[in-house]
Amino acid sequence: MPTGPIEIGSNDGVGLDFGLGLLPSLQEIHVWLDDEGASIEEAKEWKAMLWHASNIHPNHPSLEIKNEDKRMMPRENR
């Protein structure tokens, strides 16, 4: 099972299925969000989808989102 980075992307505008349910032992999620070219609202929607995926996972894994500007968004700032 891979332990390194996995790239997930979508250009179809339909949304994403992160497939986190297929990882029952998941404890941590680290995301590098390249939102270049996205509106502020689009970036917020992507982040909201990530938080939702983390919250509905049975293990409630921790989530850390890094943006292009290298700021980190810990769970408390969602």
Please report whether residue 14 resides in a domain. Answer: no
For residue 66, tell me if it sits in a domain: yes
Q: Which residue has the higher pLDDT, 32 or 78?
A: 32
Domain that holds residue 57: 24-77
State how many domains the chain has. 1
In a domain, 48, yes or no: yes
The answer to whether 26 and 61 are in contact (CB under 8 A) is yes
Task: Report the pLDDT value the prediction gives residue 78, as an integer from 0 to 100.
Answer: 45
Q: Model confidence over 57-72: pLDDT tens digits? A: 999 999 999 886 544 4
Q: What is the DSSP string of 11-75?
A: -SSS-----GGG-TT--EEEEEE--TT--HHHHHHHHHHHHHHHHHSTT--EEEEEETT--EE-G
Residue 76 above 60 pLDDT? Answer: no
**pLDDT of 39:** 86
